[in-house]
Amino acid sequence: MGIFFLPVLLLSSTLILPSAPTDTITPSQTLAAGQSLISAQGTFELGFFNAAAPSSSYLGIWYHKIPIRKIVWVANCKSPITAQNATLFLTTNGNILITAGGIRTVWSTNTSSTKIPSLKLLDSGNLVLTDGGSNAIIWESFSDPSDTFLPEMELGLDLRRHLERKLTSWKSPDDPSPGGYTYGVRRTGSPELVLKNGSNIEFRTGLWTGVSWSGIPQMISDAHFIYTFVVQPDQIFYKYESINKSVMSFITVDPSGHIQRLVWLDGQWRQYCTLQLNNCDRYGTCGEFGICNVYYSEGVCKCLQGFEPRTMVDWTLMDYSGGCKRRTALACSGGGDGFVKVSGVKSPDTENVTVAAGVGLEGCRALCLGKCSCVAYVMVGENCLWWTGKLMDIKEFAQGTQGGVDLYLRLAAADLDSAESASSMRKHIVAVVIPLGLAFIIFSCFGIYTLRKKRKQGVGHGYVKDSRGNEMELPVFDMSAIEIATNNFSDENKLGQGGFGPVYKGHLEDGQEIAVKRLSRNSGQGLDEFMNEVRLISKLQHRNLVRLLGCCIHGEERLLIYEYMPNKSLDSFIFDKAGRCQLSWQKRFDIILGIARGLVYLHQDSRLKIIHRDLKG
């Protein structure tokens, strides 16, 4: 009888919130559609909102002062409200309820309190239910995150309350129901953050080094945030704080599984960073005992020293998932095994790692050698971490990058000898090459100085050779000039993505607009293909063909610099309802004739006979 009477009592005794903004609800008040709570300093707002389907509403929290609404938390993400009169209640016994039509309970915290409770929205974005007597927290929204990780929020495990705090992506940008991706702490010998699609790992951070995750070295140079990772017997959690509290920023997992940090800047949400930078951030790209680096000259994967591809045919076809196998089995007992140092890498998957506290480097080496199952070890401070079984998901960072760890890989004596021989040979080569190189540099300096004097806004003329030694003279751009022109290849300057890489808009110092095609390192297009494109297009001169202005080769970077076409691609007009109206029939006829003239030139009139495929008209 008492249970049935409770909703009726609530409906008859509660009061509607006054119109003046407030940050708190008590059991004598309700929150209905069209009303909201606003945190004390006006940072966040709590209220009901509609998703993609106008008939579905949710209770959520968003930034109050920002015109572009960003929902950071959703209460009833699994139970959209389809009826009228959605209402938020706080019962006298400390339970939060969302009802639909004044009858059906859509969502509840299932909490209780012995004192008169209150519900308050904080300026951190945390919705807190407290006991009116002691102000002890009964429930908080930070313990039940949605897809957004806010400053001061904790991701991790509360082992006392068997509580897991993790991010869950939305189903789609307009549907806050749970999607397929989750991001949170995985409890292993050395816990780390992992992104999962269902039960499959898509990305992981690597172990915590004390200042950053070993797989995210850029955290070390980030002066805008303070990162903390705590591992204790009863709790494991990760959090961050903004040094400048006025900057609005958050981390989110989008419906496609991308983890990114966004910052409110110049009237829009801008990407500050993303954790999945390239293929090497995809879990297990190179299989077991493989190591990934997008700067390798051939492919992105190679086997660790002392290992070889398990299936060479697959590796030739750039399928590295099968991983690598040992060339020589470990001796284990009886000696003969040793270690080779692999510097500056993201630590292997920590699923099969064991931690020995207070062990120095030599002690860690001895510990690993004394266990037949140990295949590698890492030192983090005074802690020794050693692996058994397979090593998975190792990423090698560019030389000179801060961060990462040094992995000591266990090898058989035969593989150690070959490694030492290779190292000795490298030393001899260096001893011979350095004196010769110095002499070459001295004689080359004058020529380089002369060439650079002739350059204007980073452009000069020089001979560029392909891999066959063929020479051709064409404008050569400095990498620094291109970086300045494209604002360091910023997303705002990106025009699109082609088959072999992205294209960026740029402005040279003299005001000329350019389009820069940046060839992807894993596109499969080698130096020969690159030089072939340069050679062909530089010889093609026609008013209906985009003109090649020059190129840039800088390390592994290969760039083509074209004239910029301000009117974009023809399909952006044809397939756009507003754009197609700008094309009169006369204009369409002129475009068709222009395309035909360009094709005739390529096929018949140019010095080179070319079958049109991917040359832009």
What are 208-231's pLDDT values in tens digits?
999 999 999 889 888 899 999 999
pLDDT over threshold 70, residue 403: yes
- pLDDT-derived band at 605 (thresholds 50, 70, 90) equals low
Q: Where are the beta strands (DSSP E) in 53-190?
A: 57-63, 71-74, 87-90, 96-100, 104-108, 117-121, 127-131, 137-140, 148-149, 155-158, 163-165, 167-172, 175-186
Q: Of the candidates 271, 254, 275, which has an alpha carbon nearest to the alpha carbon of residue 262?
A: 271
pLDDT of residue 336: 85
Compute the distance between CA of residue 236 and CA of residue 8 in angstroms, rounded to an integer: 43
Active-site annotation holds for 590 = no
Q: Say which amino acid occupies 121.
A: L
Furthest C-alpha separation in the chain: 99
Are 100 and 13 in a shared domain? yes
- Does residue 18 fall inside a structural domain? yes
Q: Of the candidates 135, 189, 121, 194, which has an alpha carbon nearest to the alpha carbon of residue 164?
A: 194
- Does residue 425 fall inside a structural domain? no
Are 465 and 550 in a shared domain? yes
Query: Which residues make Cβ contacts (< 8 Å) with residue 135, sequence separation at least 6?
Result: none
pLDDT over threshold 90, residue 82: no
Are 467 and 597 in a shared domain? yes
Compute the distance between CA of residue 315 and CA of residue 302 in angstroms, rounded to an integer: 9
Are 396 and 469 in a shared domain? no
pLDDT over threshold 70, residue 472: no
pLDDT over threshold 70, residue 604: no
pLDDT over threshold 80, residue 459: no
Q: Say which amino acid occupies 584.
A: S
Catalytic member of 234, 510, 571, 614: 614
Please, how many CA atoms are within 13 Å of residue 272, restricted to the half-sphere of its CB? 18
Are 57 and 140 in a shared domain? yes
Compute the distance between CA of residue 470 and CA of residue 528 in angstroms, rounded to an integer: 10
Compute the distance between CA of residue 250 and CA of residue 264 in angstroms, rounded to an integer: 9
CATH number for the domain harbouring residue 546: 3.30.200.20
- Does residue 255 fall inside a structural domain? no
Compute the distance between CA of residue 606 and CA of residue 600 in angstroms, rounded to an integer: 9
Task: Identify the H or E element spanning 71.
Answer: strand 71-74
- The residue that leads in pLDDT, 539 or 236, is 236
Residue with tokens 């270690």: 339
pLDDT (mean) for 345-360: 94
- pLDDT-derived band at 134 (thresholds 50, 70, 90) equals confident
Q: How many CB atoms lie within 10 A of CB 132?
A: 15
Give the CA distances from residue 336 to residues 329, 330, 341, 416, in Å, rounded to whole numbers and listed in that order: 11, 8, 17, 9
pLDDT of residue 376: 97
In tens, the pLDDT along 294-332 reads: 878 778 899 999 999 999 989 988 899 999 999 999 998
pLDDT (mean) for 413-440: 52
Q: Number of helices and strands (H, E) in the chain? A: 9, 42
Provide the b/e sequence for 377-405 (b: ≥16 CB within 10 Å).
Answer: bbbbeebbbbbeeebbbbbbbeeeeebbb
Q: Encoding tokens for residue 113? A: 């309190």
Query: Which residues make Cβ contacts (< 8 Å) with residue 363, sequence separation at least 6?
Result: 384
- pLDDT-derived band at 610 (thresholds 50, 70, 90) equals low
* Total domains in the fold of the chain: 3
Residue with tokens 């020969």: 528
- The residue that leads in pLDDT, 455 or 526, is 526
Q: Encoding tokens for residue 102? A: 């004044």
Q: Of the candidates 131, 129, 99, which has an alpha carbon nearest to the alpha carbon of residue 116?
A: 131
- Does residue 190 fall inside a structural domain? no
Compute the distance between CA of residue 356 and CA of residue 366 in angstroms, rounded to an integer: 12
From 144, 161, 176, give the residue that closes a domain: 144
Torsion angle, CA of 547/470/527/605, rounded to 10 degrees? Answer: 30
Q: Look at the chain and count its residues.
A: 617
- Does residue 78 fall inside a structural domain? yes
Compute the distance between CA of residue 370 and CA of residue 393 in angstroms, rounded to an integer: 25
Mean pLDDT of the chain: 82
Compute the distance between CA of residue 197 and CA of residue 182 in angstroms, rounded to an integer: 7
pLDDT of residue 557: 82
- Does residue 231 fall inside a structural domain? no
Compute the distance between CA of residue 307 and CA of residue 301 in angstroms, rounded to an integer: 12
Compute the distance between CA of residue 98 and CA of residue 383 in angstroms, rounded to an integer: 49
Are 36 and 119 in a shared domain? yes
From 111, 127, 144, give the residue that closes a domain: 144
pLDDT of residue 106: 92
Give the CA distances from residue 444 to residues 447, 449, 472, 543, in Å, rounded to whole numbers and listed in that order: 5, 9, 20, 39
- Does residue 99 fall inside a structural domain? yes
Are 140 and 1 in a shared domain? yes
Distance of CA 481 to the CA centre of its chain: 27
Are 466 and 576 in a shared domain? yes
pLDDT of residue 228: 95
Q: Of the candidates 431, 481, 435, which has an alpha carbon nearest to the alpha carbon of residue 458?
A: 481
Are 392 and 293 in a shared domain? yes
Kindly report the pTM of this predicted structure. 0.67
Give the CA distances from residue 166 to residues 58, 126, 176, 232, 234, in Å, rounded to whole numbers and listed in that order: 20, 15, 15, 18, 17
Least confident of 267-276, 420-429, 494-503, 603-612: 420-429
Structural domain span for residue 305: 280-327+337-411
- pLDDT-derived band at 594 (thresholds 50, 70, 90) equals confident
**Percent with pLDDT over 70 in the chain:** 78
Query: Which residues make Cβ contacts (< 8 Å) with residue 159, sequence separation at least 6?
Result: 233, 234, 235, 236
Are 494 and 395 in a shared domain? no
Q: Of the candidates 69, 76, 83, which has an alpha carbon nearest to the alpha carbon of residue 108?
A: 76
CATH number for the domain harbouring residue 76: 2.90.10.10
Are 393 and 510 in a shared domain? no
Compute the distance between CA of residue 561 and CA of residue 530 in angstroms, rounded to an integer: 12
From 120, 144, 168, give the residue that closes a domain: 144
Q: How many CB atoms lie within 10 A of CB 48?
A: 21
Are 390 and 497 in a shared domain? no
- Does residue 395 fall inside a structural domain? yes
